[in-house]
Each structure stands twice: as structure tokens, then as C-alpha cells.
Amino acid sequence: MGSINVRKEKLYFDFRYRGVRCREQTNLADKPANRKRMKDILQRVESEIVLGTFDYAAYFPESPNAARFADHDKQIEQRSAKTPTFKAFADQWMEENRIGWKPSYINTLEHSLSKHVIPAFGSVPMSAISKEDILAFRNQLARIPRKDGSVGLSAARINTVMVPLRQVMREASERFGFDNPYQGIKLLKVPRTKVEPFTLDEVKAVLDGVREDFHAYMTVRFFTGMRTGEIHGLKWKYIDFKQRMILVRESFVAGAMTDTKTEESARDIPMSDEVYAALQAQYKRTGKLDLVFCSGSGEPLSINNVCKRVWYPLLALLKIPKRPPYQTRHTAATLWLAAGENPLWVAQMLGHSDSAITHKRYARWIPNLTRQDGSAFAALWAAHTQTQADDSSDEGVSQ
């Protein structure tokens, strides 16, 4: 947002146009009447900038910036005649590449394009889009009002929105032979997601307190480290009770069944005693259906509904600090590592493409490298539950 400032006792305009900071000096003294007059002018300038009707030379004909922007507009006009509009080329680009993308990735691209990018650049010729335009667009994303009253999309969300813009600009610049204006624009820095695992006592409280029809679901979340999409896309044909294995082969993401996130995500997870018993009980509920965990009609679970109706109400009831369900995956990882499981085995169970990810993310939970078969955590859990049972028994005797 522009402002009226003073330099050597004379007022000047200070505003941004096409990503460039513009300062236009006047001969007006710093008086209230002059400030009011200039604020009115500045308001009109900024309104016209938003509408795309601003003519720099009409307001500041003697300014070097007027000639600069005029030359820029002339160059854009010459290049624009040779390239399609952003929307036309983006539609073509989507159709050309759709066959090689997962449905979830297509949904993400289409949402970013339709909600943000197309409204901003849809009618603009590809070669007419400048680096200043792109940076100004990104800044606008950081000022969008949100439903919770806050302002601006998160850095992670802005980076996601910018993905199709970056890829479309790169492809168009190669095809039509103009300099890519996106060159040199880096991703915004995104704060790392906090690892806030549940303690053993909290895990037990959740499993004891959750309603019966979600007990198996929560057990699998806590004791396998599976991603939400992997659990919601888990089918009975991938449950091997004989070998006591869960075969992770598909994922339910963005409303569609798809392949796993990466090749390494397709993995076989051994069932602990708790998971085996939970899935045996779940088979009585949904064994005749396709999905292991599903709605009454057999449809995949919605994570939003699970959070709203089961997860967050349960945490509130148990007075456990609020955390997203994804922390169950971190819980499995940290408890495995704290129990002494080999980090390489843990990385395989989590489906990490590189074990270095596991070391970096969970470094402070790695005490040693002695075990690699899952038995250490099983022993830790059994000991914990037995200790609680003994304590309850002792209390009963004392009474």
C-alpha cells in the first residue's frame, strides 16, 4: 500500500507499480491540506492499478518512470502478438501432460489454476507476463483474507499455487522463444512441520477411550505409521493374515484411489499383536466389503469427517493437547526408535525414499542401532500395559 512521505520539506508519492517501487516528488509543502489532496490522488492511482487501467504518463508525465513503463508496454505489445493467452496455453499444457500425472496431482494443479492463477493471468498473452507481474501476484496471495479472520495464504500454500504458473511459464518460454520471467524466483521458506508424538500413556488413553467402531482404525494408525491416504485406501485383498502382513499398494487421496506416494511407499508392514487382533475384529465389521475402513455404505472415509466427529472430540474429552491425526505416524516412528529399532527398518516401514529423512526428522529419538525386526517396540508396549495392569491390581488389593 502506498504512502505520502516528505523529503526536504516537500511531499512525494511512494507506491508500487508492476512490482517496482516508485517515488514521485512534488513541490507541495508538508501541510495537512496538501497531504489530503495527495492521498486522494494516491487512492485513485492504486484503484486504477488494481483495475489495470493505470496510465503512468497521465499522472506523472515528466517522470523517467513514465518513459520506462511506456517502453516496457511497447515491447510487451510486440511480443504479445506472437503468443497465446495464459489460459489457452495452460489448458493445452494440462491436456498434454494429464496422462502422466496422478489424479491427486491433477486436482492440485487444477485448483491452483482455476482459483488463483487463471483469474490473475488468464487473458494475458504468455510473453506479456513479466517477473514484476509474477512477484506482485505472489504478494497478493500473502494478503488474501481467510475465513478465520487472518490474512494471507501460508508459505506452503503459496508455493503450491505457484507450481503451475512456474511450469507453464517455463514450457511456454521454450516453445515460443522468449525469456522465462520466472527464472530466478525461489520458493518461499516453509517452516518445518513439528514432530509432536503422543506418549505411551496418551496412546493407551486414546485406544481405551475411542468409540468401538474406530478402535481398529486408531490402532492401525498408531502401530503401523501408515499415512492417512494409505489407511483410507487399504483394501482387504492387501491384508495377509497368514503371513501377518499389511501390503501397502494404494492410497486414497483427493477423493480418488491412486498409487502410493513413491515407489518406496509400496511396502509390506508386519502386524504387531495389537494390529493383528484389531484387524481380525475389523474383519467382522467390513470383511465382506472392499475397504478395511469405510463408511456404512462402503465408501472411503473422509479425513475431515474423522477429525470433526471422532478425533478432535476425543482428544478434547481426554484433555490431550490438540494435534492432527498425522502425528500418529510420527508417534509410531518415534516409539519404534525410542524402543531401539534400527532406523533403516523404521525408514522402510514408513516408506521413506531415503533413510536420511528418518535420521534427520527423528534424530533425538534414536538411542542405538541394535535391532531391526519390530520386536523391541512390541516388548516396550507389552511391558507398559502389564505395568499398568499390575498397578490397577495392587490398588484393588489395597482397597
Q: pLDDT digit string (tens) for 131-159?
A: 989 999 999 999 888 777 778 888 999 99
Question: Rounded to 5 degrees, what are φ and ψ at 320?
Answer: -100, 135
CA 164, 166, 170 angle in degrees (round to 5)?
115
Residue 369 has pLDDT above 60, yes or no: no
Contacts of 181 (CB under 8 A, 6+ apart): 129, 130, 131, 133, 134, 169, 173
Burial of 221 (0-12, 13-18, 19+ CB in 10 A): buried
pTM of the model: 0.62
Residue 26: pLDDT band (50, 70, 90) is very high
Which tens digits make up the pLDDT trace of 288-322? 999 999 988 889 999 999 999 999 999 999 999 99
Q: What is the pLDDT of residue 245?
A: 96
DSSP, residue by residue, 236-293: GGGEETTTTEEEE-EEEETTEEEE-SSGGGSEEEEPPHHHHHHHHHHHHHHTTSSBSS
Residue 387: pLDDT band (50, 70, 90) is confident
Average pLDDT over residues 32-58: 89
Average pLDDT over residues 14-24: 87
CA 261, 278, 321 angle in degrees (round to 5)?
70
Q: Which amino acid, 372?
A: Q
Q: What is the pLDDT of residue 7?
A: 92
Percent of the chain with pLDDT over 90: 60
Q: What is the pLDDT of residue 395?
A: 59
DSSP state of 22: E
DSSP state of 58: H
Residue 37: pLDDT band (50, 70, 90) is very high
Provide the CATH number for the domain formed by 200-398 in this structure.
Answer: 1.10.443.10
Residue 73 has pLDDT above 90, yes or no: no
Which tens digits make up the pLDDT trace of 326-361? 999 999 999 898 888 888 899 999 998 777 888 888
Check if 86-176 and 200-398 are the same fold. Answer: no
Average pLDDT over residues 230-237: 95
Residue 46: pLDDT band (50, 70, 90) is confident
CA 348, 276, 357 angle in degrees (round to 5)?
15
The domain ranges of the chain are: 3-80, 86-176, 200-398
Task: Give the integer Cα–Cα distance in Å for 138 and 136.
Answer: 5
Spelled out in words, what is the top-level CATH class assigned to the domain 86-176? Answer: mainly alpha
Residue 394: pLDDT band (50, 70, 90) is low
Task: Give the integer Cα–Cα distance in Å for 340 and 334.
Answer: 10
Q: What is the pLDDT of residue 30?
A: 93
Alpha-helical segments (H) within the chain: 32-51, 56-59, 64-80, 86-97, 103-112, 118-121, 131-141, 155-176, 200-209, 215-224, 228-232, 273-286, 303-306, 312-318, 327-338, 343-350, 355-361, 375-398
Q: What is the pLDDT of residue 373?
A: 59
DSSP state of 340: T
Q: What is the pLDDT of residue 384?
A: 81
Cβ 370 vs Cβ 339: under 8 Å? no
